[in-house]
Structure 1
Amino acid sequence: MKKTDSFAGFLLIGLGLYFLIRQFNIPFLNPFYSWPTILMIIGAAFLLHSNISREFANIFTGVLLLGLGVHFHGKVHYSFWIDHWGVYPFIIGIAFLLRSFKTKSGLLPGLILIAVAIFAFLTTSNPIWFRFINLLFNWIENFWPVVLIGFGCYLIYKKR
């Protein structure tokens, strides 16, 4: 097996299993027939590819997509799930930390993001400037396609 083709292989296997199981319409798997599951499959494919091919830069992407998929799935299906803007920096911080274990870069941003997230979770009376962050994340939750388009344009037109 070529290591360069492993991502596409894992992705196709994961998506194939997802759609095959979906055709069987197993009742207790109905909550998983949604777009967060596809995010989790893509994230798992990135993680498997990065560990097998030893390209550890993909760990960040894999953890980010897997974490977002788990968060969005939990938000819909579990009443105890935390629906707070602090979850997003927490997921990104975990992604930085896990990548830093293999690449030795990104430890400080990961720790800072996790500290901000924990501070946001634990404080009952937030400072006045947290209201701006709350409004920003509410806007991003409502208009996330615009954020994706903007980030895509940035990646295309940035100086190399």
Structure 2
Amino acid sequence: MKKPPYLLSGIILFGFGIYFLLQQYQFSLFNGFYSWPTLFLIVGIAFLINGYGGKDYSFIFPGVLFTGIGIHFHIAQQLGGTIDFPGIFLLLISIGLLLSYIKTGNGLFQGILFLAISLLLLFFDKLKEWLLHSGHKLVWIDQAWPYLLIVFGLYFLFFHKRK
């Protein structure tokens, strides 16, 4: 049985209330968490609780995105920079699709596709460096991969047979 639609709103409001209360009293245990990424974490966790606890699996995907973005920017603040955000964002999309697939049976191919692209983006510089040291001259890949993404996107939009 699905939980009422107020579950998500209730969790978000409760989480924001705790966040602002701790911030108001300057609770020192959470000093590094009084920033906007924490609000993303609260919203993401609310989506995940609603998705899994409320058995409304359409909330899993946005839950993973919000939670992942919050975690990413908290880590980036601690490290003093950002990790390749496009690669991380596609990794979060792939995790969201794969977790949704586990519950719904839909999105496996897309999850694996986005996982492969995200890993390529995250490790592209290392791969390019390794290829150059191996004697391969694949400089064209550095400029061609956006075009490849566009071609594959158009293929899936217009030519891929639907069930």
TM-score tier, shorter chain, comes to: 0.7 to 0.9
Alignment of 1:28-107 (within 5 A): 28-79=29-80, 82-107=83-108
1:101/1:20 CA distance change after superposition, 3 Å = same
1:79/1:130 CA distance change after superposition, 3 Å = farther
For residue 14 of structure 1, what is the aligned residue in structure 2?
15
Provide the C-alpha distance between the structure 2 equivalents of 1:5 and 1:121, rounded to a whole number of angstroms.
Answer: 38
Provide the C-alpha distance between the structure 2 equivalents of 1:130 and 1:43, rounded to a whole number of angstroms.
Answer: 35
> Is the aligned partner of 1:114 residue 2:77?
no
TM-score (norm 2): 0.72
Does the CA-based 8 Å contact 1:75-1:83 persist in structure 2?
no
Which amino acid is the alignment partner of residue 44 of structure 1?
Answer: I
Provide the C-alpha distance between the structure 1 equivalents of 2:47 and 2:58, rounded to a whole number of angstroms.
Answer: 10
Q: Secondary structure at the match of 2:5?
A: helix
Q: Secondary structure at the match of 1:105?
A: coil
TM-score (norm 1): 0.73
Q: Secondary structure at the match of 1:3?
A: coil
Q: Shift in Å at residue 84 of structure 1?
A: 4.4
Query: 1:85-113 deviations in whole A, cap 9, x for unaligned?
Result: 31111111111111111111111111111
Segments of 4+ moved more than 6 angstroms: none
Q: Shift in Å at residue 26 of structure 1?
A: 2.4
For residue 157 of structure 1, what is the aligned residue in structure 2?
none
Among 128, 133, 151, the residue aligned to 2:142: 128
Q: Larger Rg: 1 or 2?
A: 2
Does the CA-based 8 Å contact 2:41-2:71 persist in structure 1?
yes
For residue 151 of structure 1, what is the aligned residue in structure 2?
none
Count of aligned positions: 132
**Unmatched segments (≥5 aa) in structure 2:** 129-138, 148-163
CA RMSD of aligned residues (A): 2.2
Does the CA-based 8 Å contact 2:44-2:63 persist in structure 1?
yes
Does the CA-based 8 Å contact 1:14-1:41 persist in structure 2?
yes
Provide the C-alpha distance between the structure 2 equivalents of 1:90 and 1:96, rounded to a whole number of angstroms.
Answer: 10
